[in-house]
Amino acid sequence: MNTLIEHGWLVCVNATQDIYRDSYVWIEDGRIIDLGPMAQMPAGLREQADQILDATGQAVMPGMVNAHTHLFQTFLRGVRDDLPLETWLDRVIWRNAALLTEEDFYLAASLGCVENLKSGATFVVENHYVQTSKRNCDHVFEGMQRTGIKGCLARGGMDRDDRVRASLPDFDVSPFLESHEVAFAELERLRQSWHGRDDKYYLAVAPITTWLCSPEFCHGLADYAREHELCIHIHTAETRPTQEWVQADHRMREAFYIDKMGLLGPRTQLVHSVWLDESELELVAARQANLVHCPVSNMYLASGVAPIIKALLLGLNVALGTDGPASNNAQDNLETLKATACLHKVHHLNAAVLSPMQILEMACMGGARAMHLDEQIGSLEVGKCADLVLVNLQRAHIAPVHRAESALVFNCNGNDVETVLVNGEIVVKQGQCVHVDEAKLVAQAQARIEELRATICQNAGV
Ligand SMILES: [Zn+2]
């Protein structure tokens, strides 16, 4: 199958930051074979094309990597808008996640993947940590598969409940806890059935946080990840209280403890990292680990401002994530770009602190590097996967456009995405998912929430 995309405003997000005002992209069998300015398009390409997409008036950019989310939280968005992380977990997450069935996880993941694709992410790092039933993770993978998005399931696990029991004495945490035997057997089963499947689906190891995992569990997960060359995905120093918990428990700061557990290396994705100090950032840089920045969630839960500018100065790789939709409350990947820019501008009182290209780089290549898939995805370059997003720039809130990269970061939102290709296959067309009936999916999710809403609201104290 050959596809020609012509006349788009191409933002390559490659090392030389190439941008072509009037461009062509030639795709064969899911790969980018050629691209450049329209004036240099080889003769005869149009005649060879099986399909031609006219991208006049549209930006063409690489598919973004949403490097941290929890898809099941599509079922829990907007339950409470007024809590910090620690109480939000108690009120909104633990009690309500325990209500969800395997079928709910499938439905919630499908909805979440539709949302991600439609807002420009072609790859999602899904941190699924609710292991209340054995098939939950498979259902999440099946949700991704159904929509056509690529993704990594970072399989979350916990074996320690003292912090949750202290704040929720009347709640039974046990459904969330796993024996090491079950956790490793499940990781192995999922690795064999999903990791690398179709060059689209991957598995990562994900101790949820160090304060929910014993040292033995952390060491075991680190060894397992090393043995199978899997990424490690872990919530890190998200809030000041959680950083203090780690210091109270282990008499060292969180990044040093993660390092002591063997969890810090080039394949590690440290999510949030809001309360990492200079010494921790230097350690993370020395270990060549990756940061995942979730600005909207950090603002929503009032967690703080992650030291992203310092991290970039130290040469750290930074990816962007929405975080779960119960603390965002959307997963609009284009909106995340603007939030990132504006948060750091105002925090540093410096309008020039991050350029649009730096932000696009984090959203695309940053995520690709964090997944160790930067040879395959993250930029528009010859030989890479044809994972592309076409964004309509001819709208009243965007036009007239002077600089496409600025428009993408500061004007566009998910509703402006027209077309999405994954491995050259069109999965979003005219702003609608090709493989999923969105209206039906939304109706199914709403109907299920009508059954659960009274209990969820009661649990959340609203
Ligand atoms: Zn999270």
How much is the pTM? 0.98
C-alpha of residue 457 to centroid of ligand 1, in Å: 21
C-alpha of residue 324 to centroid of ligand 1, in Å: 6
C-alpha of residue 327 to centroid of ligand 1, in Å: 9
C-alpha of residue 31 to centroid of ligand 1, in Å: 32
Both 68 and 10 in one domain: the answer is: no
C-alpha of residue 462 to centroid of ligand 1, in Å: 23
Both 152 and 12 in one domain: the answer is: no
| Geometric angle at alpha carbon 364, from 17 and 269, rounded to 5° | 130
C-alpha of residue 55 to centroid of ligand 1, in Å: 35
Q: Which band of pLDDT confidence, cut at 50, 70 and 90, is reported for residue 228? A: very high
C-alpha of residue 323 to centroid of ligand 1, in Å: 5
C-alpha of residue 236 to centroid of ligand 1, in Å: 10
C-alpha of residue 23 to centroid of ligand 1, in Å: 38
C-alpha of residue 281 to centroid of ligand 1, in Å: 20
Both 85 and 198 in one domain: the answer is: yes
Both 256 and 398 in one domain: the answer is: no
C-alpha of residue 68 to centroid of ligand 1, in Å: 6
Question: Are residues 138 and 354 in contact, defined by beta-carbon separation less than 8 angstroms?
Answer: no
Strands 2-11 and 58-62: parallel
Is position 220 within any domain? Answer: yes
Both 172 and 228 in one domain: the answer is: yes
Question: Are residues 255 and 284 in contact, defined by beta-carbon separation less than 8 angstroms?
Answer: yes
Q: Which band of pLDDT confidence, cut at 50, 70 and 90, is reported for residue 13? A: very high
C-alpha of residue 69 to centroid of ligand 1, in Å: 6
Both 57 and 76 in one domain: the answer is: no
Q: Which band of pLDDT confidence, cut at 50, 70 and 90, is reported for residue 209? A: very high
C-alpha of residue 138 to centroid of ligand 1, in Å: 20
Both 130 and 251 in one domain: the answer is: yes
Tokens describing residue 95: 């009690």
Of 319, 341, 370, the one marking the end of a domain is 370
> Residue 330: is it exposed, middle or buried by C-beta count within 10 angstroms (0-12/13-18/19+)?
middle
Tens-digit pLDDT profile for residues 62-90: 999 999 999 999 999 999 999 999 999 99
Is position 57 within any domain? Answer: yes
In the chain, DSSP finds a helix count (H) and a strand count (E) of 18, 17
Strands 417-422 and 388-392: antiparallel
Is position 383 within any domain? Answer: no
C-alpha of residue 411 to centroid of ligand 1, in Å: 26
C-alpha of residue 161 to centroid of ligand 1, in Å: 18
C-alpha of residue 1 to centroid of ligand 1, in Å: 38
CATH of the domain at 398: 2.30.40.10
Q: Residue 8: CB partners within 8 Å, gap ≥ 6?
A: 23, 25, 55, 56, 58, 59, 60, 390
Q: Can you tell me the mean pLDDT for 367-376? A: 98
Both 100 and 55 in one domain: the answer is: no
Tens-digit pLDDT profile for residues 132-191: 998 999 999 999 999 999 999 999 999 999 999 998 888 899 999 999 999 999 999 999
Is position 446 within any domain? Answer: no
* Enclosing domain of residue 57: 2-62+390-430
C-alpha of residue 332 to centroid of ligand 1, in Å: 15
C-alpha of residue 48 to centroid of ligand 1, in Å: 46
* DSSP line for 371-393: TT-TTTSSS--TTSB--EEEEE-
Is position 424 within any domain? Answer: yes
Domain total in the chain: 2
Both 26 and 98 in one domain: the answer is: no
Residue type, 304: G
Angstrom distances, CA of residue 425 to CA of 122, 234, 299, 421: 11, 32, 36, 5
C-alpha of residue 377 to centroid of ligand 1, in Å: 23
Both 58 and 71 in one domain: the answer is: no
C-alpha of residue 331 to centroid of ligand 1, in Å: 12
Tens-digit pLDDT profile for residues 300-313: 999 999 999 999 99
Q: Which residue has the higher pLDDT, 134 or 359?
A: 359
Is position 443 within any domain? Answer: no
C-alpha of residue 94 to centroid of ligand 1, in Å: 13
C-alpha of residue 235 to centroid of ligand 1, in Å: 6
Angstrom distances, CA of residue 234 to CA of 9, 127, 270: 37, 9, 5
| First and final C-alpha spacing in the chain | 53
Taking the C-alpha atoms of residue 154 and residue 177, their distance in angstroms, rounded to an integer, is 16
Taking the C-alpha atoms of residue 277 and residue 269, their distance in angstroms, rounded to an integer, is 17
CATH of the domain at 336: 3.20.20.140
Both 16 and 77 in one domain: the answer is: no
3-state secondary structure 147-165: HCCEEEEEEEECCCCHHHH
Both 261 and 321 in one domain: the answer is: yes
Instruction: Note the residue count of the chain.
Output: 462
C-alpha of residue 294 to centroid of ligand 1, in Å: 9
Is position 382 within any domain? Answer: no
C-alpha of residue 350 to centroid of ligand 1, in Å: 28
Q: Which of 422, 421, 391, 428 shows the shortest CA–CA distance to 406?
A: 391
Is position 440 within any domain? Answer: no
Other C-beta atoms closer than 10 Å to the C-beta of 315 total 8
Tens-digit pLDDT profile for residues 39-67: 999 999 999 999 999 999 999 999 999 99
Share of the chain above pLDDT 90, in %: 98
Q: Residue 392: CB partners within 8 Å, gap ≥ 6?
A: 57, 58, 398, 416, 417, 418
Tokens describing residue 87: 């109480």
**Chain-centre distance for alpha carbon 181:** 29
C-alpha of residue 185 to centroid of ligand 1, in Å: 24
* Weakest mean pLDDT among 104-108, 171-175, 278-282, 433-437: 171-175
C-alpha of residue 105 to centroid of ligand 1, in Å: 16
* Weakest mean pLDDT among 108-117, 165-174, 380-389, 416-425: 165-174
* DSSP line for 187-232: HHHHHHHHTTBTTTEEEEEEES-GGGS-HHHHHHHHHHHHHHT-EE
C-alpha of residue 169 to centroid of ligand 1, in Å: 23
Sign, Cα dihedral of 88, 106, 455, 331? positive
